[in-house]
Amino acid sequence: MEERQIDALLVERAQKGETKAFELLVSKYQRRLTRLLSRFIKNQNDIDDVAQETFIKAFRALPTFRGECAFYTWLYRIAINTAKNYLTSSDRRLLLTGDVADEDGASLDAAELVPDLNTPEAELMKKEMAKIINDAVSSLNDDLKRAITLREMEGLSYEEIAEVMDCPIGTVRSRIFRAREVIAERLRPLLGTSEKKRW
C-alpha cells in the first residue's frame, strides 16, 4: 500500500471520529512539519506553537478534506498559511540555512561550494555564503520565499508546490527561477562567477 493510500485510510477513519487515526497522522508528519517550519521561524518554542496550531487547524478542517491532493500537501498548505500569519502578526523575518540549488535544481549545501572545509578561510567563506543566502532570501517577497523554501529546503516537486501554494505550476517555476536568480546575483561577487554563469 502506498503512502498516499495509507494516509487516505487514516484520514477516512479520523473523519469518522477515530482520534487515534489522526494521532497517527500527527506522529507521522510532526518531524517533517517541524523541519519545514524551522526554515521560516527561528525560535523553537514558536515553531512548536505554530506546528501545534497547524495540526489543530487541520483537525478542525478534516471534514473538508476530499483527497484531491496528498494529505501532507494539504497539511503543508495549512502550515505555510499558519506560518505566514504568525510572521505577519509578529513582524518576524524568515530564517533559512545555507542550502541553495545548482543549475540543474539539485540541492546543495553552501559548504559544498567551498573546496576544503578544514581551513579557517573555508569556514569563514561558508559562514559568509550562508549569510548572503539568508539575506538574499529575506529580501524576496513572500511568494518567492515560500516557493524557494518548499523546493530547496523541503524537496517538494513543482506539482506539490503548486498544490501547496494554490497556483499554476508555471507560476511556481517562475517564482523559483526568480528566487534563484536573486541568490545567484548576491553570491556572484563572493564566488567570482561571470554574469553568464549562475553559480
In a domain, 37, yes or no: yes
Whole-angstrom distance, CA of residue 139 vs CA of residue 56: 31
Kindly report the number of other CB atoms within 10 A of residue 103's CB atom. 10
Given this model, what pLDDT does residue 194 score?
58
The ranges of the chain with pLDDT < 70 are 1, 89-119, 121-122, 191-199
In a domain, 198, yes or no: no
Given this model, what pLDDT does residue 191 score?
67
Whether residues 109 and 69 share a domain: the answer is no
Inter-helix orientation angle 71-90/19-38, to 10°: 50
Whether residues 126 and 72 share a domain: the answer is no
> Which residues have CB under 8 Å from 146's CB, separation 6+?
80, 84, 164, 165
Q: What are phi and psi of 81, to 5 degrees?
A: -65, -40
Given this model, what pLDDT does residue 96 score?
43
Whether residues 120 and 165 share a domain: the answer is yes
Is residue 89 within 8 Å of 49, Cβ to Cβ? no
Residue 149: give its domain's CATH number.
1.10.10.10
Give per-residue pLDDT as tens, 89-133. 655 444 444 443 333 343 434 333 333 445 676 677 777 888 888
Count how many domains the chain has.
2
Given this model, what pLDDT does residue 141 score?
92
Domain edge (last residue) among 65, 90, 115: 90
Whole-angstrom distance, CA of residue 149 vs CA of residue 112: 19
**Full residue range of the structural domain in which residue 12 is found:** 3-90
In a domain, 74, yes or no: yes
Whether residues 53 and 117 share a domain: the answer is no
